[in-house]
A and B are shown apart, each in its own frame.
Chain A
């Protein structure tokens, strides 16, 4: 008896350790579109890292240094201004003669930094506010929820614009605003997940045998809301990138000359869009592609992690063919 329980607990521990790897394999096997999204995102991250190799001690690319961008992000070549796509400038140049492709490659850095930074802040905020709110409940919860209510009843864009006007344009401001604001608007999701856990039998059992509060939080509550957090972070990534682009487009995000994709679409991009359509088209394509990839990944992760969407039989569930194959596989595994 003691042996079996030891075995199962070891098995469970192994499962928990390989949670992310397991998720990755399932993504590859079950959700090809989501996996495609992940591949695009990985490419984006690599692009951002290897835009130039100055961080490895190499000189920046305008001096002929190695890296994905052949020119600097603000390398002005006035004699080449507004030149159409050619072998020298694959996506053309802008009104100041800066290479569009290099600027877009550097823009990946901004997008990825904003997305990761804002989502990290957002995850911390929603956990710090949401978990105690759902776990303790009572007066604390009621008061906190009024602040959350007040915050989320502003339309996001109007709120971002006002706060950005207060803080001034800049990348760190964008990250903080989108992160904190996104975190607060997600507090309810975490809170309701925690409340659901409080009603589970294992929670009650842990309380009944006298497990201390902090241990319940760490061992029982957190592992069970991790999928909710992953889903909300993945969904938030694309939204944050779009929000940053919109803010930069309206002139309150990341200021020129920094190559934010949204910023490239405002100002000079709009001004020269008839004479040089490539200035308008490519940053938008890059933006759409990346947000698309994040949304695909988020969708696939939600399908894999959300227990409400698992399984299902009959007319509208899985096809019988698929079910039969699954059942055969399971029984083969059992026999082994």
Chain B
């Protein structure tokens, strides 16, 4: 077990290294780099004093060879000032457009995404787990079928379509105006929750579909095991059989999948944030992608990938720890 643990944790390092390479290189292959977009935007604004493009490139540090840039970003190569300052030193970089430190962007954007993520996860679990367990205990009944159809429908409806309709049509029919301006949680809790509830509910319902199906399948698998028959034969009550024997065993894989969902949900719902005009990390990502703001794209991608990677390892370890039948070499 200890050897397995150490190996799992050590293997994060090469994977993370590959992640940083993919993250760093990929955005730089996007045709039309940041300078093209800057200049075309300035021309549109009618700005007259367009700087020399090479000076600008140099000022942004984009003139160095790509591997030097990568080394500087990672923090293993000297900056022009001669010091090491990159990801490894905790310097996430600055926006190429307004020189805002990426840390500040995280500070202002991350709480929005985290709030949305926590709310939608709570909603998703409180829908999925009871329904999934119930469906498994009544396999092939009307309830089971309607639950399965509900889950498949939720999986099939495109989220962006449903959200757009939900946000626009009620406002026409009943004249309610959705709140477009973001209200921080510290300013007005009620308004803030009102704003988050609808997007959180829609994302939560969509993610619950997968969890419902998984819970049901896992419960069905466990309910067919011999020890459940033994439990029935001992004369235990349905409650005890279900909760003490079945759910406890069925939930090991369910928890691992739910755990794996956490970083992805926290990382920001690109589509949800876009449609509901919530200034979260997903929206920052889309904006940065359109503006080719390389440091922001790389930082967000690295952060999310690291979170998912670490979470996967935690999930695997929890799995081994919770299920005594699993033994790792």
Taking CB atoms, residues of chain A closer than 8 Å to B228 are 314-316
Contact A314 B161 (CB under 8 A): no
Main secondary structure of the interface of A (DSSP, over half): helix
Taking A166-B26, A246-B271 as contacts, is the C-beta distance between A146 and B224 under 8 angstroms? no
Contact B221 A309 (CB under 8 A): yes
Cα A242 to Cα B210 in complex, Å, equals 15
Give the residues from 8 to 46 in chain B that come closer than 8 angstroms, CB to CB, to chain A: 11, 14-16, 18-19, 22, 26-27, 29-31
Most buried by A among B29, B148, B224, B289: B224
Which one of A162, A277, A289 contacts B27 once the chains associate, using CB atoms below 8 Å? A162
Please give the distance in Å from A315's CB to the nearest CB on chain B.
Answer: 6
Cα A294 to Cα B285 in complex, Å, equals 31
Taking CB atoms, residues of chain B closer than 8 Å to A151 are 22
Taking A163-B26, A291-B156, A292-B153 as contacts, is the C-beta distance between A153 and B19 under 8 angstroms? yes
Decide yes or no whether B152 CB sits under 8 A from chain A: yes
Give the residues from 129 to 173 in chain A that come closer than 8 angstroms, CB to CB, to chain B: 146-147, 149-151, 153-155, 157-158, 161-163, 165-166, 168
Which one of A155, A162, A265 contacts B26 once the chains associate, using CB atoms below 8 Å? A162
Contact B301 A154 (CB under 8 A): yes
Taking CB atoms, residues of chain B closer than 8 Å to A281 are 165
Decide yes or no whether A273 CB sits under 8 A from chain B: yes
Contact A246 B164 (CB under 8 A): no
Give the residues from 283 to 306 in chain A that come closer than 8 angstroms, CB to CB, to chain B: 284, 287-289, 291-292, 295-296, 299
Contact A299 B148 (CB under 8 A): yes
Cα A287 to Cα B165 in complex, Å, equals 15
Most buried by B among A155, A165, A281, A291: A155
Residue tally, chain B, CB below 8 Å to A: 59
Cα A274 to Cα B170 in complex, Å, equals 11
Contact A270 B271 (CB under 8 A): no
Give the residues from 283 to 325 in chain B that come closer than 8 angstroms, CB to CB, to chain A: 285-286, 289, 297, 300-301, 304-306, 308-309, 312
Please give the distance in Å from A230's CB to the nearest CB on chain B.
Answer: 17
Cα A295 to Cα B152 in complex, Å, equals 7
Contact A265 B161 (CB under 8 A): yes
Can you list 8 A-B contacts with CB-CB less than 8 angstroms, sorted by A residue number?
Answer: A153-B305, A249-B158, A273-B164, A299-B148, A309-B217, A309-B221, A314-B229, A319-B140
Residue tally, chain A, CB below 8 Å to B: 50
Contact B156 A246 (CB under 8 A): no
Cα A320 to Cα B168 in complex, Å, equals 51
Decide yes or no whether A336 CB sits under 8 A from chain B: no
Taking CB atoms, residues of chain A closer than 8 Å to B16 are 150
Taking A150-B18, A166-B26, A316-B137 as contacts, is the C-beta distance between A291 and B165 under 8 angstroms? no
Taking CB atoms, residues of chain B closer than 8 Å to A155 are 264, 267, 304, 308
Taking CB atoms, residues of chain A closer than 8 Å to B155 are 238, 291, 295
Decide yes or no whether A214 CB sits under 8 A from chain B: no
Cα A145 to Cα B148 in complex, Å, equals 34
Decide yes or no whether B76 CB sits under 8 A from chain A: no
Taking CB atoms, residues of chain B closer than 8 Å to A146 are 11, 14-15, 18
Please give the distance in Å from B216's CB to the nearest CB on chain A.
Answer: 11
Contact B172 A245 (CB under 8 A): no
Interface residues of A (CB under 8 A from B): 33, 146-147, 149-151, 153-155, 157-158, 161-163, 165-166, 168, 238, 242, 245-246, 249-250, 262, 265, 270, 273-274, 277, 280-281, 284, 287-289, 291-292, 295-296, 299, 308-309, 311-317, 319
Give the residues from 115 to 153 in chain B that come closer than 8 angstroms, CB to CB, to chain A: 136-137, 139-140, 145, 148-149, 152-153
Interface residues of B (CB under 8 A from A): 11, 14-16, 18-19, 22, 26-27, 29-31, 136-137, 139-140, 145, 148-149, 152-153, 155-162, 164-165, 168-169, 172, 217, 220-221, 223-224, 228-229, 232, 264, 267, 270-271, 274, 285-286, 289, 297, 300-301, 304-306, 308-309, 312
Contact B305 A317 (CB under 8 A): no
Contact A299 B152 (CB under 8 A): yes
Please give the distance in Å from B194's CB to the nearest CB on chain A.
Answer: 23
Please give the distance in Å from B31's CB to the nearest CB on chain A.
Answer: 7
Cα A150 to Cα B145 in complex, Å, equals 38
Taking CB atoms, residues of chain A closer than 8 Å to B168 are 273-274
Closest to B217 in A: A309
Taking CB atoms, residues of chain A closer than 8 Å to B145 are 33
Which one of A147, A150, A246, A277 contacts B160 once the chains associate, using CB atoms below 8 Å? A246
Closest to A291 in B: B156
Contact A166 B137 (CB under 8 A): no
Taking CB atoms, residues of chain B closer than 8 Å to A315 are 223, 228-229, 232
Contact B289 A161 (CB under 8 A): yes
Cα A153 to Cα B30 in complex, Å, equals 21
Cα A315 to Cα B137 in complex, Å, equals 9
Contact A166 B31 (CB under 8 A): yes
Cα A261 to Cα B161 in complex, Å, equals 11
Which one of A238, A284, A292 contacts B165 once the chains associate, using CB atoms below 8 Å? A284
Most buried by A among B22, B31, B162, B221: B22
Taking CB atoms, residues of chain B closer than 8 Å to A161 are 270, 285-286, 289
